[in-house]
Amino acid sequence: MSDLPPLSIDTIWAILNDTLDDATVNQLVWHYLGYRYDATAERWNTAEVSSEWLENYPEPPNFIEDRPATVKLTRSIPKPNKQLLKEQLGFEGYKVGELVPRLTRRATMANWLLSYMRDREIVG
């Protein structure tokens, strides 16, 4: 997972515009949740993962496919950061014909990453 794009506004837009593949988007969220894959041991190192995530997800979930994991991700976004896509980026959401679970889950992941950036004062 060393080939991840930088955590930046451009990356957030790539997630929203569906120009970054699902696997990479998942890997970005996993990375910032603290999951690290140890290729030598062929297993996940979860030393940096919070207990609230480890309890249900000892291995990182596929947020694109796993609705409960995405709901948990949404709930973990602090209330002041829930509307960052709209407030900070001016993202108005997807059109009615685009409202499919895959895209809405990507938007949730983008918002979580944007919240992560804000809380840690990462300028991107």
Write out the H or E segment, with its range, that includes residue 103. Answer: helix 101-119
CATH classification of the domain holding 48? 1.10.418.90
Is 3 contained in some domain? no
pLDDT at position 19: 97
Residue 107's domain comprises 9-119
Is 2 contained in some domain? no
Quick: pLDDT tens for 59-80.
999 999 999 999 999 999 999 9
pLDDT at 1 over 60: no
Is 21 contained in some domain? yes
Is 58 contained in some domain? yes
pLDDT at 2 over 70: no
- What is the mean pLDDT of the segment spanning 26-54? 97
How many domains does the chain divide into?
A: 1
Bridge partners of residue 43, in order along the sequence: 38
Is 1 contained in some domain? no
- What is the mean pLDDT of the segment spanning 9-23? 97
Is 4 contained in some domain? no
**Mean per-residue pLDDT over the chain, rounded:** 94
Tokens of 21: 């593949």
Is 74 contained in some domain? yes
* Among 116, 24, 108, residue whose Cα is nearest residue 67: 108
d(CA 21, CA 17): 10
Is 124 contained in some domain? no
Quick: pLDDT tens for 84-109.
999 999 998 887 777 788 999 999 99
